Amino acid sequence: TDNATKLSAQMDKWLANAKEPEVSDVPCRGIIGPHAGFSYSGPTSAYAYKYIDSKKVKRIFILGPSHCHYTERCELTRCKSYETPLGNIPIDKAIIAQLYKTGKFEMMDLSVDEEEHSIELHLPYIAKIMEGVDYTLVPILVGSLNSKAEKMYGEILAPFMKDPENFFVISSDFCHWGSRFRFTWYDKRYGDVWQSIEALDRKGMALIESLDPQGFSSYLRSFRNTICGRHPIGVFLNAIVAFKDKQHPKMKFVHYAQSSKVRYKQDSSVSYAAAVCHFCSNQDDDDAAEGKEQKSG
C-alpha cells in the first residue's frame, strides 16, 4: 500500500507477532528475508527485521536477485535515494563509486531499478526499523552468477564486514513449487507435497546455516530448488567465509512459512524463510548467540 499509516500499522502488527530476540548483547549483522507480495512475505520478514538494532547501524547493504533483467554480473543503482511511503532512503554514493571502481560492477539502468521488486519490497521494513536514524543504503542487484563469480563478489564485500555499523540484507524467497514455476519435485517419503517442499528447503537452509557456499551450490545443482535469491545468498556466504577478523559468524533460520499447503499437483506455493547472522568476537558471545537463536526458532 502507498498509505504510510496503514503500512506502518501493518508492519507494527507483524513485528509484534514475531518472537522477541531473547539476548541483545550480540548484535545481529545480517539477515535473509523474503520479497514476495507484502501480505504473503511480510509476516516472515518481521522475524528477521526484529533482530536489527538500529542504533548500531549506519549503512545497509542489500543484495537482491534480478528477476526481469539478465546479467552475469552485479549491478549498482544510479539513484541518489529510494522513495518509500515512510520516507526517502539515501543511497551511499561514495560506496557505490568505490564498488564501481573495482571494475567488477555495472551500473543499473533506471528502468531495471524501477521494475525489480526483490530490493523494493524490503525498503518499507528498512525505513520502518531505521526511522529516526541517519543511515545510507547500498543496493546491489545480483545477476546469474556462477560459483566463481559468487566467490569473487563475496571477497569484494568481505572487508565491509569489518565495520560493525555495516549491516547486510539478503533478499530471497525459497521454493517456488508448481507447474507455473516449472518445478514439481516431490519425495513421498516426507508425506504430503508441502512436507516434501519443506524438507527440500530445510536441506538448503542447513547448508546456509553451516556457512558452506560450496555445499549450497552443490545442493542447488542436485535438486534444482527454485530459490530465487540463491546468488545473493551465495555471495553473502562467500563474504562471510572470506571475512577473517577473529570473528565467529553464526547463521540461524528463525522462521519458515509457505504461501499454501500443497497437496495436489495442480496447486502451487512459495516458501518464505527468515535468517539472522551474528559475528561473535569470542566464545562467550558465540555461545550467547547460539542460545538466543535456539530459543527464538
Q: How confident is the model at residue 286 (pLDDT cuts 50, 70, 90)?
A: low
**Measured distance CA(85)–CA(7) in Å, rounded:** 8
What is the average pLDDT across 59-88? 94
Sequence-ordered list of residues with C-beta below 8 angstroms from that of 295, at least 6 positions apart, any chain: 22
pLDDT given for residue 288 in this prediction: 54
Query: Taking a C-beta distance cutoff of 8 angstroms, is the pair 240, 211 a contact?
Result: yes
Specify the amino acid at residue 50. Answer: K
Q: Report the pLDDT value the prediction gives residue 283, as an integer from 0 to 100.
A: 52
- Residue-wise burial string across 176-210, b where 16 or more C-beta atoms lie within 10 A, e elsewhere: bbbeeeebeeeeeeeeebbbbbbebbbebbebbbe
The residue that leads in pLDDT, 266 or 283, is: 266
278 in Cβ contact with 27 (< 8 Å): yes
Note the pTM of the prediction, 2 decimals: 0.92
What's the pLDDT tens digit per position in 183-222? 999 999 999 999 999 999 999 999 999 999 999 999 999 9
What the block records as the C-alpha cell of 109 is 539502468
Tell me the average pLDDT across 140-160.
97
Mean pLDDT, residues 127-144: 96
